[in-house]
Homo-oligomer: A and B are copies of this chain.
Amino acid sequence: MKCWSQIQTLLGDQWMLMIILGSSIAVLSFVMDHVVLFLHNCRMKLFNSTPKGLSYLSWISLPVLLVTFASAVVQLISPHAIGSGFAEIRCILRGTTLHGYLDFRTLAAKVAGLVAVLGAGMPLGKEGPFVHIACILSQLYTTSCCLKKSSVECRSRSLDLLAGAAAVGVGACFASPVGGVLLSIEATAANFAIRNYWRGFLGAASGTLLYQLLVVWSSSRQSIEAIYATEFSDDVPYRPLELILFGFIGMLCGLLGALFVYILRVFIQKMKTCTMREYLLRAPLLYPVFVSLIITTLQYPVFMSRLTAGHLDNDEHFAHLFSNFSWAKGNLTAQEASVVHHWESPIKSMTVFFVFLYISSILASTLPVPSGMFIPLFKTGAAFGRIAGETFNMWFHRKFKIAPNPGGYAVVGAAAFSGAVTHTVSTCVIVVEITGQLRYVLPIIVAAMISNIVARRLHASLYDMLTSVKGLEHPPDVASPTETNPAVRMTVKDFMESPTEFVWRGIGFRELSNVLESSPNREVLPVVDDPENRSLLGTVKRMELEKLMANCSMPVDDQVNFQWFPIESIRIQLLVNDSAAAVHQLFQLAKVNFAFVTNQSQLVGFVGENELEKIIEEIQENPIRQ
């Protein structure tokens, strides 16, 4: 018994938990990769072994079946498993409570659905879902370890662990521990607790380590390699002046990224209001069948093979996109030729491939199945970068006798485009870790910075868009305090509710009932010493007062005795000159949702969370006002 409790203490240790979490995610990720590859091979075998007349049928059958299966599983077991779950995790980390997102049913549905969708060759990824899966696992683990403990402790602890778990998800999925930690920092609330840093690092590192070891042990490789390793040469990978071209690509990726989010938003909103909605609700599997049919048809090898490359798997796509030579050059080596013969022509194939990815990623992400967006975004960006690289290569090769390496441009495009869509710069680090080479780190950072700046000016990020479209709520972020920020100039006295109702010592029953009637929505009422001074003493719950009124049979002119119920202390008070931004921060940090405003200890007003959020959203929309 004692031994068991010792084991429990050890397992309850947060470091231990991160290592276990990292390892389980790594095993899961590894197994999933193999199942997905197996499904892909099945698909190809089935296609190759059927006679020509039936080849289209055999090509579409398995993917459509798998997507339908995924959709059915998710709808039957847990609809919370739909989508990447990253937007939801962000909300949870920012303090919203969402029910059902972190339970075992969702986990099961997510894993089963994800395997099926990826096996079907849909242009979707596993990163977002893995962040969600890691968070569910950490939650399940915490709950099972803290059964005996109080729920408050559990909650604060599990929120802490979730931030680490997000890092583990990315780390074990892309073998990118540093990028995972950075992404989890960027994605969490406005303030990142440093203690989660070390924890996330530990989890992500152990996850990456085990995943990479599993890959090495299961293959004939002798050494650990990056997921989509590139082979750029060390001498002169790019000339300093090419940085201008990289910056240009960053700008274009910023535009394309903002457009991507915009189209996706319009698409989702149209879906919600269109007339077909009725039919789709009645036959929920119709839409998945329809979409997967379109995408699979576009990948149909007989017509599109050398344009959209549906017969290649994910790893092959990236190997080709990042390949270290221009496809347009002469004298290909045998290895190089084996890459190029999959594509019709460098520019044309890539352009079709890019357009196909761009549209089908949008289409696929509206499927009601578990789905991640990172891999398709990477791939779309890489395709765009490759187009630009091949173009530059042709121009400059002829004119200036220098040959930019299109593979490098593909890597830069991948980072810039995914960064623009998600409004993160951690993508730089993830791309570097995925490709295993630092050669292009500066161009990547330059392009991602520029694409971020452009995209941020044009549209909300993918996550923010999904959060608002899905109707999830989290406290809005307030920009940093500067004199140009109206949230700083606007002070409490501009938006507080004033005068506010209050009760006082010696209040009569009649007056009390008036107060209660005139403030029907207030759960908590302030108590002051007397109506003249209005010095704030504390608060009293409305419930208590109502109970008193109901039970008491005193004459209405009598005074209420305040010893009948507790006056509660007030944690946070606001001053009239506090800025909106400061109040917002205080609310977030102290986790309160209302506060009274005092001026020289005299009660003058009330600020509630909802009013505050409205004000801040207003300010953000019309920053010139006021």
Contact = CB atoms under 8 A, between A and B. Distances in A.
A77 interface: no
A557 interface: no
Contacts of A236: 222-223
Contacts of A213: 240
Contacts of A590: 586, 589-590
Contact of A481 (B157, B231, B446): B157
A452 B213 CA distance: 22
Contacts of A240: 213, 216-217, 223-224
Contacts of A237: 223
A174 to B, nearest CB: 13
B442 A432 contact: no
A160 B480 contact: yes
Given A153-B488, A201-B425, A537-B601, A442 B208 contact: yes
A449 B201 contact: yes
A571 B575 contact: yes
Nearest to A231: B234
A157 B438 contact: no
Interface in A535-571: 535-538, 566-571
A157 B14 CA distance: 35
B567 A600 contact: yes
Interface in A568-583: 568-573, 575
Interface in A189-231: 189-195, 197-198, 201-202, 205, 208-209, 212-213, 216-217, 222-224, 226, 229, 231
A527 interface: yes
A80 B201 CA distance: 35
Contacts of A185: 185, 192, 194, 197
What is the predominant secondary structure among interface residues of chain A facing chain B? mixed
A598 B569 contact: yes
A98 interface: no
Given A223-B238, A589-B590, A209 B446 contact: yes
Nearest to A234: B231
Given A425-B198, A535-B529, A483 B569 contact: no
A437 interface: yes
A382 to B, nearest CB: 18
B224 A442 contact: yes
A542 B571 CA distance: 23
A559 to B, nearest CB: 15
Contact of A601 (B149, B177, B217, B538): B538
A251 to B, nearest CB: 16
Given A191-B192, A208-B445, A437-B437, 10 more contacts: A153-B481, A153-B488, A177-B445, A178-B178, A222-B236, A223-B239, A437-B438, A536-B537, A570-B601, A571-B573
Interface of A: 9, 12, 14, 146, 149, 153, 156-157, 160, 177-178, 181-182, 185-186, 188-195, 197-198, 201-202, 205, 208-209, 212-213, 216-217, 222-224, 226, 229, 231, 234-240, 243, 425, 428-429, 432-433, 436-439, 441-442, 445-446, 449, 452, 479-484, 488, 527, 529, 535-538, 566-573, 575, 586, 589-590, 598-601
8 contacts: A12-B482, A157-B481, A157-B482, A190-B195, A205-B449, A223-B239, A569-B573, A571-B573
